[in-house]
Structures are given as C-alpha cells and as structure tokens.
Amino acid sequence: MGRGWGFLFGLLGAVWLLSLGHGEEQPPETAAQRCFCQVSGYLDDCTCDVETIDRFNNYRLFPRLQKLLESDYFRYYKVNLKRPCPFWNDISQCGRRDCAVKPCQSDEVPDGIKSASYKYSEEANNLIEECEQAERLGAVDESLSEETQKAVLQWTKHDDSSDNFCEADDIQSPEAEYVDLLLNPERYTGYKGPDAWKIWNVIYEENCFKYNTFYSWLEGLCVEKRAFYRLISGLHASINVHLSARYLLQETWLEKKWGHNITEFQQRFDGILTEGEGPRRLKNLYFLYLIELRALSKVLPFFERPDFQLFTGNKIQDEENKMLLLEILHEIKSFPLHFDENSFFAGDKKEAHKLKEDFRLHFRNISRIMDCVGCFKCRLWGKLQTQGLGTALKILFSEKLIANMPESGPSYEFHLTRQEIVSLFNAFGRISTSVKELENFRNLLQNIH
C-alpha cells in the first residue's frame, strides 16, 4: 500500500510539474472575454480602433448629444405606424402594453414644429409647408415669388429623386401622428419569436446575405457589399444592445423596474453561445458608428449657414439648440480617425454606378420591411433608425452638392427635411448610446466569475 501511495503522489507531482511548463492549461475565459474578445484594436476596412471610439464617444460626445436630443426640436417625430406591410398580409400584432406607442395630442407639439421646420428668410417662412402642398396638389401656387416657386419645384423634385436611400414615409397621411420619443423609449417589449425573427431573416435573405457562418463568404466580397452587410449587422446589434440594457427586470402592480439584463446580453453576444458571431456583431456596431459619424462631419456646412434655424417657435431655445448642435458637429469634425468613404465606388465608373444603385435599392427595400414589424414601438424605432442611416448614406454620396450650396437662402441641390434631420441625429444617438452601454456591460461582466 505504501508503494501504491508513493506512485500516486509521484504521478500527481509529475502532472503538476507538467502544468507549470508547456503543458499548462489556459484558465477558462471570463464572461467579459467571451463577449468582447474580438472587440478591440482596429476595425476591418477602417483605420480606427475601438478604444479611440470609446474614449471619444463616452466622454466627449455622448453627454452633449443626449442633451440635444431632449430638446423639443428633436424629441418630436412624425410617423405613420399604420402603413400596410408591402410584402405579406399575415402580420401578428403584438398585444403587450409595452408594444404600444402613445402619440402626442395636438396641443402637446410646439406650434413652430407643426407649421414649419425651419426658416431661411421672411419671404420663405412657409416654404416647407408650400412644398408639402405642392406634393399633395401636384402644382405650385403661382402667387408665390419666382424664387420660392423655384425652390418648391426643386425640393419636390429632390424628395422624389433616385438619390434617396429610404422609402419616403407618407407623413401627410391623416394616419401620421407626432410621437414624443422621450415618452416612448426604445427598450425590451417582449416582442419575440417567429414573427420577430421573420423580419430580420427577410432583411438578410432578401438582400443576398447569409445570416449564419457567413464570414468566409463575406471575405470574398468587394468593400461596398461587405460594408452594406456590416451596416445592417451593426444596426441589428445596436438594437439588441438597447433591448438588453433596458430590459423589464421586475413588474408589480405599482411599478416596473427596467435595467441591464446580463443574461440577455450574453445570449446575443457571447462568443460561445453565438458560435463566434456575437463579438463580430459588436465590431459591426462600431463600423456603423464610424459611418454615421463621418456623415455628420460632412453635413456641417448645411447647418452652419447663418440663416438656418432649428425652428420650434421659441427663439431663445432655438438659438441655444443651434449653438449646441454646431458644437457637437465641430467636435465630430475634430475626430482624428474618420472612416474614408472614398474607398466606396472608386473603381470602374460603370461598375461603381451599378454598385451604388444596388446599395440604394437594397436599403430602400429594408426601409419598407419596417412596416411589417408587429410591435408598434419596435416599428417606430426601426423606421426612425433606418431613415437616419439612409439619411447618413445620402449625405456621404452628396459631398459635391453640399460643397456647392449657397452660403444663405434655400439650397436647391442639397436639402434635408425636418424628418431627415430628426431621424439622422436620433439614429446616431441610438448608436452612441449602444457604445456607451457596451462599457456598462463590459464592467458588469467582469464581475461575473
């Protein structure tokens, strides 16, 4: 028996010695490492790294952007949530209370927002309204000045042009309503299962993208098609971050408690649970951030013109909001590692034009799919974020038009409606919030053993 114990102890000692050398087993990955193991360093197709984005967003940009989005101009968004789905009829409407959207009463929306989006001159105070009337009536009021008539026709032509990346929402419909985004926040509603998955499956499959195990296939694509996939994947990831960060943790007859659901986050982004896809999705979120950040830096001249107003009717507040807006855009302009969009469509002219058109048509198709979402709150935020991303793409492909804008007065060639402005900044606000929430989830996961 003594020899047996001696042999056993000797064997254990040998195993221990081996563990100190090249045979040492690696410690198991932590929960944070499994989600964020690939979310560091440089991003694919970019010269920027994740750490630089985190510092810039979380400490320099995020607080000011949130303040801007709480202002009246940016909190009210007009949307038609009753448009029929153009692809299928069997939509199961979400019956949960958290899926509902509470529209604004007429007296809750500032008069300036309801009557006009912004002003250029006394003569053109109601230019937006006249443009909308022209679209409805198919004619231009001849009593308007020649300059205003020209602007109305140019803007109507622009809004119907093939340069738009989103299907235009019919906000003049009697069914379109203003929604206070602060009172209808994006969060987990309980909308899930086959109906929810159907939306994303259609988005990926109808646009020729493989949803799972796609990366070897993706590597063979040109930079434009690869970028398109990563934008959609990044948007999907961002929405999932929001749902995990504002999850219904507890509900009583007195109150509801919303907060971070670590388990939900891991199910969507853990490297093991998602077979390696989760961390890649998070990197695509950062890619989306860089694209929208670049668009905002490009559109600065549009907002810098001295007679442009974020018009609500409250003169003091409007001036303060414009100052804050320009501060944010100048901060964005100073970002040292912007995405270089010149790599897009830089090849043969004919092929580049075809790629751009495919890019635009696919994205317009995705914006239409949002009318098929069965949860109205999910539909609201889906429509807003796709319109915001579509507006960002329109800006990136309008660089020459922006450069040729007049220093004052209506811009005939490049124009953003109030809908586009509100969706552009709120969509970027959602991406910015996602990046901030990733820091929160990283800290929470590091405490899990």
Concerning whether 375 is annotated as a catalytic residue, the answer is yes
| 3-state helix/strand/coil string of 50-100 | HHHHHHHHHHHHHHHHHHHHCCHHHHEEEECCCCCCCCCCCCCCCCCHHHC
Q: What would the pLDDT profile of 244-273 be if each residue is shown by its tens digit?
A: 999 999 888 888 899 999 999 999 999 899
pLDDT at residue 397, as a whole number: 82
What band does 128 get if pLDDT is binned at 50, 70 and 90? very low
pLDDT at residue 345, as a whole number: 56
Of 113-122, 180-189, 437-446, which gets the smallest average pLDDT?
113-122
pLDDT at residue 288, as a whole number: 95
Q: How many CA atoms lie within 13 A of 244 on its CB side?
A: 24
Quote the CA–CA distance of 237 and 355 in Å, as a whole number: 25
pLDDT at residue 177, as a whole number: 93
Average pLDDT value for residue range 357-381? 86
Q: Choose between 154 and 194: higher pLDDT.
A: 194
| 3-state helix/strand/coil string of the chain | CHHHHHHHHHHHHHHHHHHHCCCCCCCCCCHHHHHHCCCCCECCCCCCEHHHHHHHHHHHHHHHHHHHHCCHHHHEEEECCCCCCCCCCCCCCCCCHHHCCCECCHHHCCHHHHHCCCCCCCCCCCHHHHHHHHHHHCCCCCCCCHHHHHHHHHHHHHHCCCCCCCCCCCCCCCCCEEEECCCCCCCCCCCCCHHHHHHHHHHHHHCCCCCCCCHHHHCCCCHHHHHHHHHHHHHHHHHHHHHHHCEEEEECCCCEEEECCHHHHHHHHCCCCCCCHHHHHHHHHHHHHHHHHHHHHHCHHHHHCCCCCCCCCCHHHHHHHHHHHHHHHHHHHCCCCCCCHHHCCCCCHHHHHHHHHHHHHHHHHHHHHHHHCCCHHHHHHHHHHHHHHHHHHHHHCCHHHHHCCCCCCCCCCCCCCHHHHHHHHHHHHHHHHHHHHHHHHHHHHHCCC
Residue that has been written with the tokens 């939306």 in this structure: 199
Concerning whether 85 is annotated as a catalytic residue, the answer is no
* Sequence-ordered list of residues with C-beta below 8 angstroms from that of 136, at least 6 positions apart, any chain: 172
Q: Which of 35, 99, 166, 378 is catalytic?
A: 378
Please check if 200 is assigned to a binding site: yes
pLDDT at residue 116, as a whole number: 54
Residue that has been written with the tokens 């919303």 in this structure: 258
Nearest-10 Cα torsion for 432, 434, 436, 442: -160
Query: In the predicted model, is pLDDT for residue 101 greater than 50?
Result: yes
- Tokens for 382? 């889906």
393 to 70, 292, 371: CA distances (angstroms):
25, 8, 21
- Tokens for 311? 């018009």
Average pLDDT value for residue range 319-326? 96
Q: What would the pLDDT profile of 169-186 be if each residue is shown by its tens digit?
A: 667 778 889 999 999 999
Quote the CA–CA distance of 427 and 381 in Å, as a whole number: 9
Quote the CA–CA distance of 125 and 102 in Å, as a whole number: 31
Q: What would the pLDDT profile of 10-35 be if each residue is shown by its tens digit?
A: 433 433 333 334 444 545 677 777 77
- Angle, in degrees to the nearest 10, between helices 376-396 and 223-245: 140
Please check if 236 is assigned to a binding site: yes
Q: Which of 46, 131, 166, 375 is catalytic?
A: 375
Please check if 268 is assigned to a binding site: yes
41 burial type by CB count under 10 A (0-12 exposed, 13-18 middle, 19+ buried):
exposed
pLDDT at residue 230, as a whole number: 87
Question: pTM for this one?
Answer: 0.81
Of 102-111, 116-125, 330-339, which gets the smallest average pLDDT?
116-125
What band does 194 get if pLDDT is binned at 50, 70 and 90? confident
pLDDT at residue 68, as a whole number: 97
What band does 373 get if pLDDT is binned at 50, 70 and 90? very high
Query: In the predicted model, is pLDDT for residue 60 greater than 90?
Result: yes
pLDDT at residue 195, as a whole number: 80
- Average pLDDT score over the chain: 78
What band does 96 get if pLDDT is binned at 50, 70 and 90? confident
Please check if 16 is assigned to a binding site: no
Between CA 424 and CA 433, with CA 429 as vertex, the angle to 5 degrees is 155
Q: What would the pLDDT profile of 139-155 be if each residue is shown by its tens digit?
A: 334 444 555 455 544 54
pLDDT at residue 161, as a whole number: 45
- Angle, in degrees to the nearest 10, between helices 349-369 and 194-206: 170
Average pLDDT value for residue range 179-205? 87
Q: What would the pLDDT profile of 39-49 be if each residue is shown by its tens digit?
A: 777 777 666 78
Quote the CA–CA distance of 141 and 135 in Å, as a whole number: 11
Q: Choose between 373 and 449: higher pLDDT.
A: 373
Q: What would the pLDDT profile of 207-232 be if each residue is shown by its tens digit?
A: 554 444 445 445 555 666 778 888 88
Average pLDDT value for residue range 54-78? 96
Quote the CA–CA distance of 36 and 10 in Å, as a whole number: 41
Query: In the predicted model, is pLDDT for residue 100 greater than 70?
Result: yes
Please check if 197 is assigned to a binding site: no
pLDDT at residue 204, as a whole number: 79
pLDDT at residue 27, as a whole number: 57
Q: What would the pLDDT profile of 402-435 be if each residue is shown by its tens digit?
A: 888 887 777 777 888 899 999 999 999 999 999 9
Please check if 233 is assigned to a binding site: yes
- Angle, in degrees to the nearest 10, between helices 418-446 and 262-269: 100
- Name the percent of the chain lying above pLDDT 70: 71
Q: Choose between 150 and 380: higher pLDDT.
A: 380
Query: In the predicted model, is pLDDT for residue 441 greater than 60?
Result: yes
Spatial CA neighbour of 246 closest among 39, 447, 437, 54: 437
What band does 88 get if pLDDT is binned at 50, 70 and 90? confident
